[in-house]
Amino acid sequence: MLNENVKKLLAESMWDLATCAGNEPNVVPVAFKDVTEDGKLVVGDVFLETTLNNLKADGGRIAISVYDAKSLEGYQIKGVAKYVTEGAVVDTFKAMVEKMFNGAATAKGALVILDKDIRCPLEYGLDVFGGKWNSRIICVLAAKGTLRYSGLRNELTNITDAVLGASLKILMKNGMINRQSYDEIPPRVEYSLTEKGMSVVPILQSICQWSGAYHKQDLGNVMQHCQKCDYNGSGEYGICGGKS
């Protein structure tokens, strides 16, 4: 589900469509695009021959990137594209293109970008809080509460700005964290977990306890807040490093 910030940026900015086939990536900018009321991303088929061929060869997988150069805000949405040749969406794009090109071109159809082809609820959970950094960011914010960007980066120690920024955008897109900016000089931005984000913490704690039972590790290499996590069931500390 796209949040309002993402929808606003998608509505106001051009998109880049990224597809791949035979290890050959292809990225094209598109101007004939829209976000439907139910949150689907749609793109008019105007000069998209390579994109369509790649989609056929790669199971319809596609990524959409959108970026605002002024605010430095950007997002990437991954999904599966379905091609349609009739319906209200196609009629709208045809009218737009024919008007712009005075009838010299038209939209042959439209791409409807759907969420990832998730066939099991577990896949959705792993997509939202899985990966190397998403779960770590959630755990740090669960233990620390609200943090500035610099404080969050320091807690994660060896993460790069590019990876942290991308991870935060994904978590915000999925409604897991809040981003609060303050009109101050220098600018101040703070991050915290949403109610949805907090609901994941007990799940991550259970995974940590399972890992603690089966995975032998050198505690010297474990992140600081992980050393205080009750993954071994001692009861001294609470979820994700908070005092019990």
SS3 (DSSP) at 53: helix
Neighbours of 4 (CB within 10 A): 7
Look at residues 189, 197, 191 and name the one whose alpha carbon lies nearest to residue 72: 189
What confidence score (pLDDT) does residue 73 get?
Answer: 81
Q: Is residue 244 over pLDDT 60? A: no
**Segment 69-115, tens digit of pLDDT:** 887 788 888 888 889 898 888 898 889 888 888 888 888 889 988 76
CA–CA gap between residue 178 and residue 191 (Å, rounded)? 6
The CA-atom distances, in angstroms, between 190 and each of 9, 93, 116, 154, 182 are 21, 40, 30, 14, 8
Range name among 15-24, 82-91, 191-200, 220-229 with the lowest pLDDT average: 220-229
Q: Is residue 233 over pLDDT 60? A: no
Question: Quick one: pLDDT band at residue 36, thresholds 50, 70, 90?
Answer: confident
Question: Quick one: pLDDT band at residue 1, thresholds 50, 70, 90?
Answer: low
Q: Which residues pair with 148 in a beta bridge?
A: 190
CB 239, CB 201: distance < 8 Å: yes
Mean pLDDT of 197-211: 88
CA–CA gap between residue 39 and residue 240 (Å, rounded)? 34
